[in-house]
């Protein structure tokens, strides 16, 4: 009997990688999934943090895809290694701070290492020629295959017929005739295929698979970098950018204000790292202060914190300001009027 | 059979799942792992991860605002 060939599938949680893996299973290939956690992934976080989204059940889409396919999924944290991709991408950024081409090369490269270490034969992705402006241009696909070191062991089942035959096709491990020739941004063929296989309720991310394609998120990230004077970050930095209102009234400090209970709870986990404040005379948000605020800045931050709580129309609000070591003081402040908040402060 | 504990509190998904996966890789079949998390998503994600990787969830519950999942390692331990 022929040896069963083994493929590792990059599973993002979206429809394309689900279908690509399914096509391989149809051809009798043993498939296992791999999913990388960069810290910027859209998965989970904001759902977990924000209370109001809880009407929808929380789920991790990559795990959901693996369950639909009945395959194992290996989830790999790459937060540290991924920094080089984000900070200094060789091929530059897309519309925002998304280094998609470098990112694809990095992820396929990690999958190649995993494939080699685990004795697998090839790698599959859900890429489609021309679907995304930068990383899935026809001339970009060979770049990913080359820079990842995967070369002809990288198969894209959804568009393979438009590309030169890869090793799995040449060796007859997979039948090229049963692969697809999808091309461009039209999603109808994928939707029809999902229907054919009976996949429902799959995730449909708008834009991209990570926060680096999000305009408001990347505005915050750019602000973080320019205020630090360098582009380093840690996981807490990039998580905090996803939570709360962010306002920078002056270059030397910024304030993060929780928008609801879930966010306040999440921010409270950082009380040991930042000056923080909350109204005591009225209900209201928790706010964290990052940077080097002066006494006048703290006063302004307290007025802002009061503005976003239930005391916003009160004549005076008491705000407790606490330093990271727990020392605290009470400030009596007049909530800032909305016209006193410059639009430019919002990140 | 050994009992093990994993503290995945104050982590957001998918980190509790990744930590669970990495810890399970060090256990032997039949060992028990108790995972504690604060991200409510873990209540769904960890059992889902267990189902696809052949481990048995003995119990999952929310207790004092924390998610507790108790897992018995199946035969596919190791090699993640
Ligand atoms: S959208 Fe984000 S995760 Fe997806 S390829 Fe681009 S940089 Fe990578």
pLDDT for the residue A252: 95
- Asked if residue A163 and residue A21 are part of one domain, the reply reads yes
Among protein residues, the one with the nearest Cα to ligand 1's atom 2 is: A210
Q: Residue A135 maps to which CATH number? A: 3.40.50.620
- Asked if residue A201 and residue A67 are part of one domain, the reply reads yes
A142's CB contacts (< 8 A; 6+ apart) are none
Domain ranges of chain B: 3-72
- Asked if residue A200 and residue A249 are part of one domain, the reply reads no
Catalytic residues of B: 13
Spacing, Cα A316 to ligand 1 middle (Å): 47
For residue B51, list chain A residues with Cβ-Cβ distance below 8 A. 67
- Asked if residue A68 and residue A27 are part of one domain, the reply reads yes
pLDDT for the residue A159: 96
The Cβ of residue A198 has, within 10 Å, a number of other Cβ atoms equal to 7
- Asked if residue A181 and residue A40 are part of one domain, the reply reads yes
d(CA A196, CA A114) in angstroms, rounded, equals: 32
- Asked if residue A131 and residue A49 are part of one domain, the reply reads yes
pLDDT for the residue A88: 93
Topology of the domain comprising B3-72: Translation Initiation Factor IF3 (3.30.110)
How close B34 gets to chain A, by Cα (Å)?
Answer: 19
Q: In chain B, count H helices and then E strands.
A: 2, 4
Half-sphere exposure of A84 (CA within 13 A, CB side): 6
Helix (H, G, I), strand (E, B), or coil: what is residue A139?
A: coil
With respect to residue A67, please indicate whether it lies within any of the assigned structural domains. yes
Chain segment B6-20, per-residue pLDDT in tens: 999 988 889 999 999
Q: What is the DSSP string of A211-231?
A: GGG-HHHHHHHHHHHHHHTS-
With respect to residue A287, please indicate whether it lies within any of the assigned structural domains. yes
pLDDT for the residue A137: 73
pTM for the complete prediction?
0.90
**Ligand 1 atom closest to the CA of A211, numbered from 1:** 2
With respect to residue A227, please indicate whether it lies within any of the assigned structural domains. no
Q: Which residues of chain A have pLDDT under 70?
A: 1, 43-58, 133-136, 205-208
Chain segment A8-26, per-residue pLDDT in tens: 999 989 999 999 999 999 9
Range of the domain at A89: 6-211
Helix (H, G, I), strand (E, B), or coil: what is residue A346?
A: strand
pLDDT for the residue A48: 55
Encoded tokens for A259? 């928008």
Of B40, B52, B53, nearest to A58 by CB-CB distance is B40
pLDDT for the residue A47: 53
Selection from A317, A281, A323, A282 nearest residue A302 by Cα: A317
- Asked if residue A261 and residue A124 are part of one domain, the reply reads no
Rounded to 5 degrees, what are φ and ψ at A339? -70, -15
Q: How many domains does chain A have?
A: 2
pLDDT at B76 over 80: no
- Asked if residue A295 and residue A251 are part of one domain, the reply reads yes
pLDDT for the residue A217: 93
pLDDT at B78 over 60: no
pLDDT for the residue A133: 67
């Amino acid at each position: 009997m022929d040896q069963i060939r083994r493929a590792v599938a990059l599973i993002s949680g979206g429809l394309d990688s689900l279908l690509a893996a399914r096509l391989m299973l149809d051809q009798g290939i043993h498939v296992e999934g791999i999913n990388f956690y960069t810290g910027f992934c859209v998965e989970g976080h904001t759902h977990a943090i924000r209370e109001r989204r809880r009407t929808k059940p929380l789920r991790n889409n990559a795990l959901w895809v693996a369950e639909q396919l009945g395959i194992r999924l290996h989830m790999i944290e790459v937060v540290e290694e991924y920094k080089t991709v984000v900070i200094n991408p060789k091929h530059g950024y897309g519309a925002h701070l998304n280094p998609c081409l470098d990112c694809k090369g990095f992820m396929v490269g990690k999958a190649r290492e995993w494939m080699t270490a685990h004795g697998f034969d090839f790698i599959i992705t859900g890429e489609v020629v021309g679907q995304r402006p930068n990383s899935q241009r026809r001339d970009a696909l060979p770049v990913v295959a080359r820079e990842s070191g995967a070369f002809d062991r990288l198969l894209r089942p959804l568009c393979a017929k438009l590309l030169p035959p890869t090793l799995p096709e040449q060796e007859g491990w997979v039948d090229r005739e049963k692969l697809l020739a999808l091309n461009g941004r039209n999603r109808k063929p994928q939707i029809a295929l999902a229907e054919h296989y009976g996949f429902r309720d799959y995730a449909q991310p708008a834009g991209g698979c990570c926060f680096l394609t999000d305009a408001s998120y990347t505005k915050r990230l750019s602000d973080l970098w320019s205020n630090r004077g360098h582009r380093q970050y840690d996981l807490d930095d990039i998580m905090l950018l996803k939570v709360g209102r962010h306002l920078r009234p002056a270059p030397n400090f910024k304030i993060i204000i929780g928008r609801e209970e879930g966010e306040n709870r999440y921010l409270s986990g950082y009380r040991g790292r930042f000056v923080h404040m909350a109204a005591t005379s009225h209900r209201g948000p928790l706010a964290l202060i990052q940077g080097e605020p002066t006494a006048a800045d703290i006063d302004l931050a307290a007025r802002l914190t009061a503005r976003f709580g239930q005391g916003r129309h009160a004549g005076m609000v008491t705000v407790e300001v606490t330093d990271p070591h727990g020392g605290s003081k009470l400030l009596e402040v007049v909530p800032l009027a909305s016209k006193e908040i410059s639009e430019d402060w919002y990140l | 059979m050994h009992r093990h504990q994993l503290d995945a509190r104050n982590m957001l998904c998918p980190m509790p799942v990744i930590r669970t996966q990495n810890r399970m890789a060090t256990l032997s079949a039949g060992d028990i792992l108790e995972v504690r998390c604060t991200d409510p998503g873990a209540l769904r994600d960890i059992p889902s991860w267990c189902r696809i990787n052949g481990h048995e969830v003995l119990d999952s519950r929310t207790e004092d605002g924390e998610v507790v999942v108790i897992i018995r390692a199946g035969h596919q331990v190791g090699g993640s």
